[in-house]
Structure 1
């Protein structure tokens, strides 16, 4: 039987993905500290407490993570935005997470990185976890910063990090998601394995389900034991018929980053995806 950790911290707990992680994470520890900018997150699970905190406030993050075994960092802006906004939440926020972890002796950070750190690679190129960064937006650039920060802090200070390059964790709604889908069950499994694997060092792993058309390779992260079960191929016929023929010269169709690869810097990439808000209610 897996021994429960004493304390886990989840940032971004009020967000879409955070809503699916709160309950399973609460079962992996004695105390789950969930955090976000919202005033509250509804009903709490057994062992869960909620603390409102700004990622840009180092003092608040240091207090939040005191005595924590691990931080599951899913907070920050989840879309392309003006650079100043990205700087505060995603870049300074990431620095504060790793600095607070160092000050408090936190063992590991599980970080919600993104495919947008490598979003400008063509989708016809099957990429592994070792390809050089190739961001598609300021948002993607912030993920590159945090991944490099995580590697540096592991090598200089010994804090483990698992960086999850999440692809498309939402209902399948377009041709791109037939290859890029990460189901909520597979998301939960990925985070659980990132927490309960005994040793991780610095690791990058793509957050994608067992799709027949997945254009990324997780072989180098196989030791995590992440074995996705869901496959978006069941939606392929419907999505292909809905979207019709796509322009092969349009970056939104040709690049891993989808519409993030074609929007002007600072403009929303999520707006073009029409993602349904099906956040889990506690």
Structure 2
């Protein structure tokens, strides 16, 4: 490929993807809201741009073969904030991509599009949305828009419903939901290099024994996750207190996002829980 555009390049996940994506194209254009990025690859350039700015996205995406869209607010926030960065940001990316003839968008969706399903329900990729927050609702919107642009214009999209992407496993919930950084990179690489994807929804999880999702429809990508959260199970469970089976933070796929009031940060709620507050 000649050019790949990566939005959200300064984020926790975007920063993991820069070097791997740079190997897949002649040019990688990384973008975010920070003033600059360190350690640019030899074929990587950085452009500061707001995903909610249509003119900025039109300029950024021109000439791209594919867009890896990870730029958004990665947490629950007020509807107005989510509206700009996540709803409008997704629209500007899809609109610019269609007008510039981009072949495919790889989109960072989220398990929070399905967050209110109980964890005793093994969710598939073709079940109805059941969002837990404004943040989750924005992911539903983008997935449906991706489907519409595929049906209308033939613009391919791979929507990755990322679960718990992190370094080592942090808590009992992640024993099923963990996505290691290595598996994240593999999943995005496969989403870029697979010859045909159409419109696809894939769960972003590692090869966990306790995975609560059905990811069988990811097979066509050749995605074969290598890491397993079970390697951390003994240590994690030894320090996990007894769980209340009526607590939606433990019983729903969305975890704490299923319990926070709309507009209230789920990330801060998780942080307080980890600190025992």
**What is residue 108 of structure 1 aligned with on the other side?**
104
C-alpha distance in structure 2 between counterparts of 1:261 and 1:241, whole Å: 25
Asked if structure 1 preserves the Cα contact closer than 8 Å seen for 2:75 and 2:266, the reply is yes
1:234 to 231, 235, 250: 231
C-alpha distance in structure 2 between counterparts of 1:131 and 1:273, whole Å: 27
2:268 is aligned with 1:251: no
2:274 is aligned with 1:264: no
C-alpha distance in structure 2 between counterparts of 1:41 and 1:239, whole Å: 35
Describe the superposition over 1:19-50 as per-residue Cα deviations: whole angstroms up to 9, x where unpaired: 10000000000000000000011120120000
C-alpha distance in structure 1 between counterparts of 2:53 and 2:170, whole Å: 37
C-alpha distance in structure 1 between counterparts of 2:242 and 2:101, whole Å: 53
1:84 to 56, 80, 99: 80
**What is residue 198 of structure 1 aligned with on the other side?**
195
**What is residue 42 of structure 2 aligned with on the other side?**
46
SS for the counterpart of 1:71 is strand
2:81 is aligned with 1:95: no
Structure 1 runs (4+) deviating above 2 angstroms are 272-275
SS for the counterpart of 2:190 is helix
2:228 is aligned with 1:220: no
* C-alpha displacement of 1:218: 1.1
Asked if structure 1 preserves the Cα contact closer than 8 Å seen for 2:112 and 2:257, the reply is yes
- TM-score by structure 2 length? 0.96
SS for the counterpart of 2:166 is coil
Which stretch shifts more, 239-248 or 30-39? 239-248
C-alpha distance in structure 2 between counterparts of 1:43 and 1:13, whole Å: 12
Cα RMSD after superposing both structures: 0.9
**What is residue 160 of structure 1 aligned with on the other side?**
156
* C-alpha displacement of 1:147: 0.1
C-alpha distance in structure 1 between counterparts of 2:130 and 2:52, whole Å: 26
**What is residue 280 of structure 1 aligned with on the other side?**
none
C-alpha distance in structure 2 between counterparts of 1:96 and 1:29, whole Å: 23
Q: What are the ranges of 5 or more consecutive residues in structure 1 without an aligned counterpart?
A: 276-282
- TM-score by structure 1 length? 0.95
Describe the superposition over 1:112-170 as per-residue Cα deviations: whole angstroms up to 9, x where unpaired: 00000000001111111111000000000000000000000000011000000000001
SS for the counterpart of 2:239 is helix
**What is residue 59 of structure 1 aligned with on the other side?**
55
**What is residue 279 of structure 1 aligned with on the other side?**
none
**What is residue 275 of structure 2 aligned with on the other side?**
none
* C-alpha displacement of 1:241: 1.9
Describe the superposition over 1:184-220 as per-residue Cα deviations: whole angstroms up to 9, x where unpaired: 0000000000000000000000000000000001112
Equivalenced residue count is: 271
C-alpha distance in structure 1 between counterparts of 2:48 and 2:175, whole Å: 36
Describe the superposition over 1:102-121 as per-residue Cα deviations: whole angstroms up to 9, x where unpaired: 11000100000000000000
2:135 is aligned with 1:117: no
**What is residue 278 of structure 1 aligned with on the other side?**
none
Q: What are the ranges of 5 or more consecutive residues in structure 2 without an aligned counterpart?
A: 273-277
* C-alpha displacement of 1:221: 2.2
